[in-house]
């Protein structure tokens, strides 16, 4: 019996998850397939009933269902509850479905792979959407001293700070503010959690004001080589891109589905060898 995993979302423009998970299934001789399942909101209940079947290992969830999927699960793990979103889940042998969030753990695994230590230091996250919440929670959970969240729409930065204030010190700020400039000057890690670099050819902050020891982390993975990644590397700073986070969060989910870990190299190689069909998939 071929086992199954599906990613639900709408629209599903990108095939990165299918490419890397199917490569890992093949590399480990597992008879399973990862499929993309674009569905409407009215199909969520039917999908999650199907995913309880014997042939299912688990599922992935992307926009716009990272919150609404939670209503269809039997259990949601603590990190996903804190963040307010699931992006993956596993089917247990009794057919129950457990949701969790690998954006947070994948982000921290990618940070750890750089060797930069962030615990006890300050962090800056630019952006206040869904990815920002996962990253801010992950940084607080990893023991950073404080996170400054800066956003184009300041109200959304305030919402993130309020949502996560029980997990540590989170300060909101507008872009171009003195508070952001000050925090950038002493941060151990600065994260781009906006779509800048993907939808625009701009950088979300000025890398020249960062300490020499700072890690610059760009969540954008299409393209992996954003203007921010290029300018931080040109300054000689430690850099991590969104492709590494995508791979690391995939590795964590894959281990939950199969019990097999250490698949990051297979997944990364598959993505690097893959030639996307269209500009939006790159």
Q: Which of 37, 156, 182, 256 binds ligand NAP (CB under 6 A)?
A: 156
**Among 83, 67, 98, which residue's Cα sits nearest to residue 136?**
83
Stretch that binds ligand NAP, among 31-39, 121-129, 141-149, 208-216 (CB under 6 A): 121-129
Closest contact distance (angstroms) between CB of 1 and ligand NAP is 30
Q: Note whether 9 binds ligand NAP by CB under 6 A.
A: no
C-alpha span between 262 and 31 (Å, rounded): 19
Which one, 137 or 221, has the nearer CB to ligand NAP?
221
Active site residue 66: yes
Stretch that binds ligand NAP, among 26-34, 148-156, 255-263, 269-277 (CB under 6 A): 148-156
Residue 89, strand partner residues: 59, 99
Question: Which positions from 81 to 120 touch ligand NAP by CB under 6 A, shown as an x/- string?
Answer: ----------------------x-----------------
- Cβ-contact 77, 103 below 8 angstroms: no
Which one, 90 or 109, has the nearer CB to ligand NAP?
109
Q: Note whether 131 binds ligand NAP by CB under 6 A.
A: yes
Q: Note whether 258 binds ligand NAP by CB under 6 A.
A: no
Closest contact distance (angstroms) between CB of 54 and ligand NAP is 30
Q: Is 152 left (phi over 0), alpha (psi -120 to 50) or beta?
A: alpha
Site for ligand NAP in 164-193 (CB under 6 A): 193
Q: Note whether 246 binds ligand NAP by CB under 6 A.
A: yes
**Among 166, 104, 106, which residue's Cα sits nearest to residue 133?**
104
Q: Note whether 124 binds ligand NAP by CB under 6 A.
A: no
Q: Note whether 200 binds ligand NAP by CB under 6 A.
A: yes
Closest contact distance (angstroms) between CB of 221 and ligand NAP is 4
Determine which one of 4, 21, 66, 133 is catalytic. Answer: 66
Which residues are marked as active site? 66
Q: Which residues bind ligand NAP (CB under 6 A)?
A: 103, 127-132, 151-153, 156, 193-196, 198-200, 219-221, 242, 245-246, 249
């Amino acid at each position: 019996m071929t086992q199954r995993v599906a990613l639900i979302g709408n629209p599903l423009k990108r095939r990165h998850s299918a490419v890397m998970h199917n490569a890992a299934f093949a590399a480990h001789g597992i008879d399973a397939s990862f499929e993309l399942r674009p569905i409407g909101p009215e199909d969520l209940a039917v999908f999650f009933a199907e995913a309880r079947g014997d042939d299912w290992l688990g599922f992935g969830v992307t926009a716009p269902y990272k919150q609404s999927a939670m209503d269809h699960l039997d259990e949601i793990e603590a990190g996903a509850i804190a963040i307010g979103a699931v992006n993956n889940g596993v089917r247990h042998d009794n057919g129950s479905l457990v949701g969790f969030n690998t954006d947070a753990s994948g982000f921290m695994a990618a940070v750890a792979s750089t060797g930069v230590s962030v615990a006890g230091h300050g962090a800056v996250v630019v952006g206040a959407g869904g990815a920002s919440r996962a990253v801010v929670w992950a940084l607080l959970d990893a023991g950073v001293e404080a996170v400054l969240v800066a956003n184009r729409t300041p109200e959304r930065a305030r919402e993130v700070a309020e949502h996560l204030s029980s997990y540590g010190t989170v300060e909101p700020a507008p872009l171009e503010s003195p508070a952001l400039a000050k925090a950038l000057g002493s941060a151990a890690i600065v994260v781009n959690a906006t779509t800048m670099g993907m939808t625009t050819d701009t950088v979300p902050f000025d890398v020249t004001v960062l300490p020499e020891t700072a890690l610059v982390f760009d969540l954008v993975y299409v393209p992996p080589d954003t203007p921010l990644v290029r300018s931080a590397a040109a300054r000689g700073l430690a850099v991590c891109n969104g492709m590494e986070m995508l791979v690391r969060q995939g590795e964590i989910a894959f281990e939950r589905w199969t019990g097999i870990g250490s698949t990051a190299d297979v997944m990364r190689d598959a993505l690097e060898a893959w030639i996307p069909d269209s500009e939006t998939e790159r």
